[in-house]
Structure 1
Amino acid sequence: MTTRRQKRLYAGLSLLVGLAVTVGLILYALSENIDLFYTPSEIIHGKKETGVKPTVGQRLRIGGMVVEGSVKRDPESLMVEFELQDTGPKVVVRYDGILPDLFREGQGIVANGYLREGNVIEAFEVLAKHDEEYMPPDLAEAMKGIKHVKPSENPELGYQ
């Protein structure tokens, strides 16, 4: 092989290796920032389609209804602990911060966080739905058949 061909071969190979390394780094960075959506039942039993359960330490997004009487606040800090439920088992969510104004028991919420134990999520963000009609499609599918009281239909909450 001539030196000119060798130079072209080395340049082509180095370009391909550089491209492969770049694509690999991009995919690794994207996989670190993916938040997969789970319901409380899917965290305990695994996804219906695949049976895959989230692993401890995995970043995830969870949606469900706040269980009545489950909200516990620490009087010394902003730490709040509450239970979420869809159609089956409950999971515990721990959050250190100020909750949204629309957060209350019986309300649908979505929380972003990390799975710390089998059924404990350490949340870094809690989102309450902005009106009583909205629900994420995945959560709406999981909640079919569950009756919950809408805030507008509950006179004790002060809505008419």
Structure 2
Amino acid sequence: MSEKIVPAEIYAADASPFEMPLFQALRRLQQDGEVHAKRLSRFGGLTPMQLMILQVLAGETRMTASALSGRVSLTAATLSGMLDRLEELGLLQRQRDDQDRRRQWLLLSDAGHALMQQSPTLLPPGFRRRFDALSEWERHALTAALLRAAELCGDAEG
């Protein structure tokens, strides 16, 4: 009977003292995000990602799907399904480029603009209030730390 060799880094005894508090913080953020996502879904039945897509498009005159994909951190395939759904709901339009018929522009429809006028924020209101009360340097530091944490999580194998 051969014994399976398990890499040492998976043993809790070898874990850094930061592992448990970091995991707990990430888990709490995940849970709070899920609760807020459920609240957001009551608003027109849209997911937070769909609202984010609409908010990005609301800030632009028009945008290609590939540019939007980079802005919202979604693969082209995942974004495509969401765009189809938003188009079915009448919240966005696709428009062929006049010079290059292969290029397709995405833009908010009138209904999409109207929805954005009354849409809730992507962040939970309590978080927004407390975050806005921080000093500017704390807001920058917290944002930078979260962006860096997300970057570290991005490469799970490496």
State the TM-score, normalized to the length of structure 2. 0.22
Q: Which has the larger radius of gyration?
A: 1
Q: Which has the higher strand share?
A: 1
State the TM-score, normalized to the length of structure 1. 0.22
